[in-house]
Amino acid sequence: MSLLLLCLRNSPDEQVIDKIRKSTSIIRDLPSHQREIAISAYAHALHVVFVVNLIWALLAILGVFVMKDEQMPEVEPSKPAEGEEEA
């Protein structure tokens, strides 16, 4: 369950969550308590996204180091078939 949903669930206006999800411009019009909750929920979500992407990037870098470097065999360029023009 999202942090925003947990914090604003007891809000008198239950539609606040849907409004925030549809447009972030509503945040500036919220009462200060709800605004702080919404901003901290967005900050938490961005932090989670950053950490997950950092983990994927580190795994990709580790994957590059364990790859075996093999030489590819030399191949002659293919010749066009009869009746075809070269590009």
DSSP state of 28: G
Radius of gyration, alpha carbons of the chain:
27
Q: Are 15 and 26 in contact (CB under 8 A)?
A: no
Going residue by residue through the chain (87 aa), what tens digit of pLDDT does each one get? Answer: 566 565 656 555 667 888 888 888 888 988 888 888 888 988 999 999 999 999 999 999 999 999 888 888 888 877 777 766 655
Which residues does 42 contact at the CB level (< 8 Å), separation at least 6?
A: 4, 24
In terms of C-beta density within 10 A (0-12 exposed, 13-18 middle, 19 or more buried), how is residue 78 classed?
Answer: exposed
Residue in the block written with tokens 């308590």: 33
pTM exceeds 0.75 for this model? no
pLDDT of residue 48: 96
